Amino acid sequence: MWRVSQKTLNLGILAHVDAGKTTLTERLLYDSGVIDQLGAVDAGTTQTDSLPLERQRGITIKSAVTSFPIGDVTVNLIDTPGHPDFIAEVDRVLSVLDGVVLVISAVEGVQAQTRILMRSLERLQIPALLFVNKIDRRGANPDGVLLDIGRRLRITAFPVAGVTDAGTKGVTVAASGAGDADFMAGLTELLADHNDGMLATYVQSEAGISYDQLRAELSVQTRCGQLYPVFFGSAITGAGIPELMAGIAELLPASDGHPDGPPSGTIFKIERGRNAEKIAYVRMFSGTVHVRDRLRFGPGLDDKVTGVAVFERGPAVARQAVSAGQIGKLWGLADARIGDRVGEMANDVGLQFPPPTLESAVVACDPRESNRLRVALGQLAEQDPLINLRQDDERQEIYVSLYGAVQQEVIQSTLADDFHVAAAFRETTMICIERPLGSASALEILQSDSHPYSATVGLRLDPGPVDSGVKFQLDFDPRLVPLYIYKTTGHFIEAMTQYVLRAFERGLSGWQVTDCVVTMDECNYYIGDGPTKRILPTPRTTAADFRKLTPMVLGDALRRAGTVVCQPMTRVRLELPSARMGDVLSALARLGAATEMPLLDGELAVVTAMLPSAQVRSIQEQLPGLTGGEGVLDATFGGYEPIHGGLPIPERR
């Protein structure tokens, strides 16, 4: 494995909203000498919250990239949103990171979003340092946060610094070292649990294990995700920041990759420049991309790179090339989309967070601006594909998918501020799906009386595994594929897959059909160079014949198979006083929740339940009154389950 000559670390700053991510980013830039003056979130003067709406609201909406040095390491720092409505923005960033600083408030402790983020880091095996922020605030409890980390995150964490006078402006942080016997003993025992050689040395050697050996092994186990070092500090005052910066450079892994290898990278962000040109943010894993290179990306696309900028000591700087390990901005890729692989990219980690479960129609307040609204929403969908625009041709309305009310407000404000289009949202509804109940086949034959298209299409529909999406495959002699329309079988499969997905946008009840396998087992066409079987001439087959015939055949197969409508479910975990458990269980039962056996731990009870996502807000509103303000709710996506009783019909039907 090769390293780039200059060490580069692509670092993410993650946290629950208001834990201090953006303030920490500002402090790291200031202490490393990149900026001369600290900005403030409340004043809207930070480097990474550049959008007017971010400055107005004091929250991060879009991920932002900046850069700073720590010794011989160049750190590309990505500040991400903390609000759960923008979790998809975090998802896109995780795939390009080498390591993470997970920020936790010393006052609020581990919060709901913190747990979701930690589970994703463990799943993706991304190493992380924990930074307990705001230790200068009244109510700060570093020891309590450490207990909270072990109890709620269920990870092996170890403090590498000590705190004095927590909760006061005079708080100090001191890194633990070789002179701290308790620190040395605790760290040795913890590291030896994962290293048999170190355990043997610890047991057999009278001299023990040196501090340098412990630091080296701490770095190894941190990078493997076996151990999570905990740092303490205050991004506002700067306490504990030098220790954190030293830990970032020492404990997290720098990027690996050969700059002379084949180009390979991931596009994780799209934005528009001053002249509305598309700019793609790319993390390079290997190789080098130069200005004027022709670059392959996405599903068989290629284009010429007309400009490159690389992040160095703050913002991106124009350069002639971007190399392995670096993050750059590329101009010229007009058809680039978020998630596109650049060059030779192998593994696709896929979506790590659940899809949005809400939907709302967006209409222009002035009907004359409907076209401008479509263009504006199209550009927003480039930046956030999970908005998932859908057009209702009958109502002439556009529907967008949402995570929550805050995201809806942000889209509405962005349309007004950036595109000068006043838009209104209709009532938000849940997004259901349809799954096939059984297997069925349908066939339309060339030159038959039942359809006017010059093609034969036979499709078999089978239920697929849960959460498998839609899979399309061929099961016939490949010589029957019309090669004069599609140059290769692969192109034919890609085109047919798009026709199937388009046909499945609305099922029998009006919802998107998913979790099934569509097999094409009959295919024929007419090239127009011989006698026909009928008196009337048969027109030459074109791609449009397959495009128009596919939804007809799929519709027949779907009606024969039948579908079941499934609603989104949410898994909630509630921590509450044991004395209030009965009231909470009764409320959950009224909402149709399936509750697991509660866990009792002294005066604390933990209740886990699965309930329809539409009912989550109700339990959130009731919880303070039911628990005397002491209940805490953590919600995660729980998949889709069949609806029993009346079926919801989407308004767009």
Shared-domain flag, residues 551 and 484: yes
Shared-domain flag, residues 619 and 600: yes
Q: Which two tokens stand for residue 144?
A: 């309590």
Question: The CATH number of the domain where 588 resides is what?
Answer: 3.30.70.240
Q: Does the residue 201 lie in any domain?
A: no
Shared-domain flag, residues 457 and 415: no
Shared-domain flag, residues 323 and 406: no
Residues 6+ apart with CB under 8 A from 229: 129, 130, 157, 158, 159, 160, 218, 222, 247, 251
Shared-domain flag, residues 52 and 91: yes
C-alpha span between 258 and 283 (Å, rounded): 14
Give the pLDDT band of residue 58 (cuts 50, 70, 90). very low
The DSSP secondary-structure symbol of 54 reads H
**Final residue in a domain of this structure, among 314, 343, 372:** 343
Query: Among residues 428, 424, 367, which one has the least CA distance to residue 403?
Result: 428
Whether pLDDT at 55 is above 60: no
Q: Does the residue 557 lie in any domain?
A: yes
Contact at 8 Å (CB) between 160 and 246? no
Question: The CATH number of the domain where 43 resides is what?
Answer: 3.40.50.300
Shared-domain flag, residues 366 and 335: no
Q: Does the residue 1 lie in any domain?
A: no
Shared-domain flag, residues 140 and 231: yes
Mean pLDDT confidence for 343-354 = 54
β-strands 632-642, 307-311 pairing:
unpaired
**Final residue in a domain of this structure, among 561, 581, 613:** 561
Whether pLDDT at 533 is above 50: no
Q: Does the residue 601 lie in any domain?
A: yes
Mean pLDDT confidence for 131-141 = 94
**Final residue in a domain of this structure, among 319, 343, 367:** 343
The identity of residue 143, as a single letter, is D
**pLDDT score recorded for residue 524:** 85
Q: Does the residue 451 lie in any domain?
A: yes
**Cα–Cα separations (whole angstroms), residue 151 to 11, 109, 110, 146:** 26, 11, 10, 9
H-assigned helices in 434-481? none
**pLDDT score recorded for residue 81:** 63
Q: Name the pTM for this structure.
A: 0.69
Query: Among residues 516, 591, 598, 586, which one has the least CA distance to residue 557?
Result: 516
Question: The CATH number of the domain where 328 resides is what?
Answer: 2.40.30.10
β-strands 264-272, 316-319 pairing:
unpaired
Q: Which two tokens stand for residue 3?
A: 């390293």
Query: Among residues 232, 230, 249, which one has the least CA distance to residue 241?
Result: 232
Mean pLDDT confidence for 99-106 = 94
Shared-domain flag, residues 515 and 381: no
Could you read off the pLDDT of 478-490 as tens digits, one per residue? Answer: 777 777 666 555 5
Shared-domain flag, residues 94 and 115: yes
Task: Give percent of the chain above pLDDT 70.
Answer: 85
**pLDDT score recorded for residue 650:** 62
Could you read off the pLDDT of 232-281 as tens digits, one per residue? Answer: 999 999 999 999 999 999 999 988 778 888 999 988 888 888 887 889 99
Question: The CATH number of the domain where 395 resides is what?
Answer: 3.30.70.870
Whether pLDDT at 2 is above 70: no
C-alpha span between 338 and 437 (Å, rounded): 34
**pLDDT score recorded for residue 349:** 46
Give the pLDDT band of residue 652 (cuts 50, 70, 90). very low
**pLDDT score recorded for residue 287:** 92
Query: Among residues 365, 317, 386, which one has the least CA distance to residue 89?
Result: 386
Q: Does the residue 352 lie in any domain?
A: no
Q: Which residues span the domain enclosing 368?
A: 358-431
Shared-domain flag, residues 98 and 144: yes
C-alpha span between 293 and 297 (Å, rounded): 12
The number of distinct structural domains making up the chain is: 5
**pLDDT score recorded for residue 489:** 52
Shared-domain flag, residues 299 and 401: no
**pLDDT score recorded for residue 209:** 82
Q: Does the residue 183 lie in any domain?
A: no
**pLDDT score recorded for residue 341:** 86
In sequence order, the β-bridge partners of residue 77 are 11, 66
Mean pLDDT confidence for 6-27 = 87
Could you read off the pLDDT of 447-486 as tens digits, one per residue? Answer: 777 778 888 899 999 999 998 999 999 998 877 777 766 6
Shared-domain flag, residues 384 and 475: no
Question: The CATH number of the domain where 510 resides is what?
Answer: 3.30.230.10
- Mean pLDDT of the residues in the chain: 83
Q: Does the residue 327 lie in any domain?
A: yes
